[in-house]
Amino acid sequence: SSNRGSSGIFQRRTVSGRVPADLGRRRLRIVVTGGAGFVGSHLVDKLITRGDEVIVIDNFFTGRKDNLVHLFGNPRFELIRHDVVEPILLEVDQIYHLACPASPVHYKYNPTNVMGTLNMLGLAKRVGARFLLTSTSEVYGDPLEHPQKETYWGNVNPIGERSCYDEGKRTAETLTMDYHRGAGVEVRIARIFNTYGPRMCLDDGRVVSNFVAQAIRKQPMTVYGDGKQTRSFQYVSDLVEGLVALMEGEHVGPFNLGNPGEFTMLELAEVVKAVIDPSATIEFRPNTADDPHKRKPDIARAKELLNWEPKISLKDGLPLMVSDFRNRILNEDEGKGL
Ligand code: NAD
Ligand code: UDP
Ligand code: UDP
């Protein structure tokens, strides 16, 4: 009887054994690489809440124990300090592979996208786990097609400053499809568009975290270039819903996961101003090289095949990250004796 879900229907044997009363199916053992980071920690919360066992692998390059500390006493939760560039042996049912130096100031340092992805695919192959790659809208580069559909092959500079991220993720997608076709690994690919929310890294230079932190600190918001470039901003809980729907669904992808609401950086600054401080100011700075001019997901495929779409607009989502940012900025200031 221990091989039966509580629904009474025989299901695939899983590595973690017993059936929790409230799950209606077998409990899964799930690895989340990069689970101490911004997106990863929210995903871990969701998986723990629904009753599964979660093992986080993270080297704390940009992630923080603080993001997971509320789970430390939970017997269904484990945290391993490990660099995914090195092999690791585990017995698991699913792998959400998020580990990656994910912002412009960090990503140039690390071969994680290639070696880390290869190791996690090797692990998935050995134990028969399902593998989900968190790829990125950056695979479209500075797109010549707008909005971007999954069928678009992208416009990426192979030798520019952003290239190790863009090309690293493109290589990770290639490896993922090779393991799928060549070794029969069950894979899923998400192409994530700009995402924001509580627990975002404070100082990794992304635009939403920069503007919010600057407005709270009463500093001018730094607009790069003329501020007319666009992005589409997704609240983190919408993304987490999409990742889980993709993992549990029957389709490999790739799937765009993003909010189609498109804003210029000047418009974003206006929203931050309205939400945090009507007296906030802006300051123009030179833009970075190869900055994509426009970005907006076409999410028709995810709507149709995953029955997923984002629910939270920028105006509703931004206030949800403000108290977290205020607290962390306050703690930082206290730490400095201010
Ligand atoms: P994050 O920096 O908060 O999280 C990444 C995590 O990976 C961190 O905890 C970091 O310590 C860990 N990590 C990095 N290198 C590692 C290594 N070699 N071994 C083990 N752990 C390692 O970033 P995030 O925003 O949460 O991004 C998560 C994933 O989503 C990334 O793969 C990123 O490329 C993708 N993504 C994010 C966005 C976004 O807007 N947040 C957009 C597109 C794609
Ligand atoms: N790997 C791992 N954990 C495992 C199985 C494999 O970290 O449980 C690593 C392995 O060390 C290798 C990579 O994943 O570097 C790819 O493994 P695969 O078996 O596909 O390749 P091979 O070892 O045959 O080259
Ligand atoms: N940006 C900005 N001010 C900042 C940080 C970024 O105007 O303080 C711009 C940046 O030039 C880019 C956009 O905001 O055009 C989004 O940048 P981010 O690094 O957040 O995401 P990505 O470029 O990866 O989409």
User: Is the CB of residue 162 below 6 angstroms from any atom belonging to ligand 3?
Assistant: no
| More confident call, 198 vs 13 | 198
- Note the Cα 139 to chain centre separation in Å: 15
The predicted-structure confidence for 106-164, as pLDDT tens digits, reads as follows 655 567 788 999 999 999 999 999 999 999 999 999 899 999 999 999 999 898 877 88
- pLDDT value at 16 more than 90: no
Dump pLDDT digits (tens) for 206-245: 999 999 999 999 999 999 999 999 999 999 999 999 999 9
Torsion of CA 122, 58, 197, 191, to 10 degrees: -20
Q: How confident is the model at residue 290 (pLDDT cuts 50, 70, 90)?
A: confident
Both tokens of residue 292? Answer: 């994509």
pLDDT at 17: 53
255-283: average pLDDT: 97
Q: What pLDDT is attached to residue 90?
A: 97
Q: Which ligand is nearest to the CA of 206?
A: 3
Please tell me the distance between residue 206's alpha carbon and the centre of ligand 3 in angstroms. 6
8 A C-beta contact, residue 223 and residue 287: no
- 267 Cα to the center of ligand 3, angstroms: 13
Residues 170, 245, 88: CA angle, nearest 5 degrees: 55
Q: Residues 170-198: pLDDT tens digits?
A: 999 999 999 999 999 999 999 999 999 99
Whether the predicted pLDDT of 271 surpasses 70: yes
Position 8 pLDDT exceeds 70: no
Ligand approaching nearest to the C-alpha of 141: 3
Does pLDDT of 306 surpass 60? yes
Q: Is the CB of 252 under 6 A from ligand 2?
A: no
Residue nearest to atom 6 of ligand 3 (CA): 207
Alpha-carbon torsion (302, 44, 52, 125), positive or negative: positive
What is the mean pLDDT of the segment spanning 254-262? 97
For ligand 1, say whether the CB of 201 is within 6 Å of any of its atoms: yes
Decide whether any atom of ligand 3 lies within 6 Å of the 104 Cβ: yes
Ligand 2 pocket member 17 (CB < 6 A): no
Place of tokens 């124990």: 65
Mean pLDDT rounded to a whole number for the chain: 90
Which residues are designated catalytic?
165
Residue 232 C-alpha to ligand 1 middle, in angstroms?
19
ipTM for the complex?
A: 0.97
Is the pLDDT at 105 greater than 80, yes or no?
A: no
- Kindly give the number of the ligand 2 atom that is closest to the alpha carbon of 127: 8
Does the Cβ of 126 fall within 6 Å of ligand 2? yes
Strands (E), 129-192: 130-136, 187-192
In this structure, the chain runs to a length of 338
> What average pLDDT does this structure show over 51-57?
98
